[in-house]
């Protein structure tokens, strides 16, 4: 995408303080969008990212919110809208990865994973839809995972949460297409983030021979934002491990 082609748009990125989320925030700001950077705990990282974006001439704010809670989502969206303008672009990136085997997976682990990874997508989408519908334009991109279709290494609760994201993606896409709103997903596998530290042995599974990068995931997100004819799709990024 070319620089400035999102000028005048406002974006909200959940889980945007580091890793894939931060790479998406940077790409959006580079394209001219004003960006609300959601975080839950890493205030320092989020504030530093917003400051760097501001120093480069773009607008960004950091907003703390637990996006698994409806009240927190409502407050977050209200603040983002009041400070930056109505939200045109939503990237649902917030997630949690609690590594568990079948025998040590608890109900609490399952519930927390579904709330953070899946329910948050529903809550944030519902919160921004009135703004997008009123202007007949919106872009929603949900960050899924190769675990939505493959075995994954985190646990079946994680698989279920990511498969649910792709179901929400298709369900919303079908119902919002006539409102000028596209809804797509990106499903990365084995990306070089904090989650992969100590897991370098997994590189042997990747035909391309390396982990993906957060910036490469951001490139896929930006492609979806710029293509009005793509909706209801999941773009897989696995370095050749799997194919849709």
Q: How many helices (H) and strands (E) does the chain have?
A: 7, 7
Is residue 243 situated within a structural domain?
Answer: no
Q: In terms of residue numbers, what domain contains 159? A: 10-237
Is residue 5 situated within a structural domain?
Answer: no
Mean pLDDT of 76-86: 98
Predicted pLDDT at 3: 47
**Coil, strand or helix: which one is 80?**
helix
Share of the chain above pLDDT 90, in %: 84
Predicted pLDDT at 120: 98
User: How many structural domains is the chain composed of?
Assistant: 1
Tell me, what CATH number does 82's domain have? Answer: 3.40.50.720
Q: In what order do the strands lie in the sheet with 89-92?
A: 60-64, 34-39, 10-13, 89-92, 138-143, 181-188, 234-237
Is residue 43 situated within a structural domain?
Answer: yes
209 contact partners, CB below 8 Å, separation of at least 6: 203, 239
Mean pLDDT of 142-155: 92
- DSSP-derived secondary structure for 94-137: --------TTT--HHHHHHHHIIIIIHHHHHHHHHHHHHHHHT-
In this structure, are residues 214 and 243 in contact, taking their beta carbons and an 8 Å threshold? no
User: Is residue 193 scored above 90 in pLDDT?
Assistant: no
Is residue 147 situated within a structural domain?
Answer: yes
pLDDT digits (tens, 9 = 90+) for 68-79: 999 999 999 999
Is residue 3 situated within a structural domain?
Answer: no
In this structure, are residues 16 and 52 in contact, taking their beta carbons and an 8 Å threshold? no
Mean pLDDT of 195-214: 79
Mean pLDDT of 79-93: 98
CA gap 43, 199 in Å, rounded: 27
Is residue 135 situated within a structural domain?
Answer: yes
Mean pLDDT of 103-132: 98
CA gap 95, 80 in Å, rounded: 20
Facing residues of 64 across strands?
A: 39
C-alpha pair distances (Å), 147 with each of 4, 72, 128, 155, 200? 34, 28, 27, 9, 18
**Coil, strand or helix: which one is 219?**
helix
Predicted pLDDT at 101: 95
Mean pLDDT of 41-53: 96
Indicate which residue of 39, 158, 172, 229 is catalytic. 158
In this structure, are residues 232 and 170 in contact, taking their beta carbons and an 8 Å threshold? yes
Among 73-77, 83-87, 148-152, 158-162, the minimum mean pLDDT is found in 148-152
pLDDT band at 159 (very low <50, low <70, confident <90, very high): very high
Active site residue 172: no
Using a 10 angstrom Cβ sphere, with 0-12 exposed, 13-18 middle and 19 or more buried, the burial of residue 55 is exposed
pLDDT band at 142 (very low <50, low <70, confident <90, very high): very high
Mean pLDDT of 187-191: 87
Is residue 244 situated within a structural domain?
Answer: no
Mean pLDDT of 49-71: 97
Facing residues of 75 across strands?
A: none
Mean pLDDT of 110-114: 98
CA gap 105, 94 in Å, rounded: 21
User: Is residue 194 scored above 90 in pLDDT?
Assistant: no
Mean pLDDT of 135-142: 98
In this structure, are residues 121 and 216 in contact, taking their beta carbons and an 8 Å threshold? no
CA gap 236, 227 in Å, rounded: 16
Is residue 162 situated within a structural domain?
Answer: yes
User: Is residue 125 scored above 60 in pLDDT?
Assistant: yes
Predicted pLDDT at 2: 42
């Amino acid at each position: 995408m070319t620089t400035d082609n999102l000028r005048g748009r406002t974006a909200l990125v959940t889980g945007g303080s580091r890793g894939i989320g931060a790479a998406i925030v940077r790409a959006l700001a580079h394209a001219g969008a004003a960006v609300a950077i959601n975080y839950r705990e890493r205030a320092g990282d989020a504030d530093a990212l917003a400051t760097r974006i501001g120093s480069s001439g773009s607008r960004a704010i950091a907003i703390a919110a637990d996006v698994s809670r409806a009240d927190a989502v409502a407050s977050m969206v209200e603040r983002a809208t009041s400070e930056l303008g109505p939200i045109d672009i939503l990237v649902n990136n917030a997630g949690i990865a609690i590594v568990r085997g079948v025998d040590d997976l608890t109900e609490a682990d399952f519930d927390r994973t579904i709330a953070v990874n899946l329910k948050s997508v529903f809550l944030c989408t519902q919160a921004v839809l009135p703004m997008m519908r009123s202007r007949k334009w919106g872009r929603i991109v949900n960050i899924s995972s190769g675990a939505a279709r493959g075995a994954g290494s985190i646990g079946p609760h994680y698989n279920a949460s990511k498969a649910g994201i792709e179901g929400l993606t298709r369900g919303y896409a079908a119902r919002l297409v006539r409102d000028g709103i596209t809804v797509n997903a990106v499903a990365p596998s084995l990306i070089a983030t904090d989650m992969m530290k100590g897991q370098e042995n997994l590189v042997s599974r990747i035909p391309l021979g390396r982990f993906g990068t957060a910036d490469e995931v951001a490139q896929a997100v930006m492609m979806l934002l710029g293509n009005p004819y793509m909706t209801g799709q999941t773009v897989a990024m696995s370095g050749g491990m799997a194919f849709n």
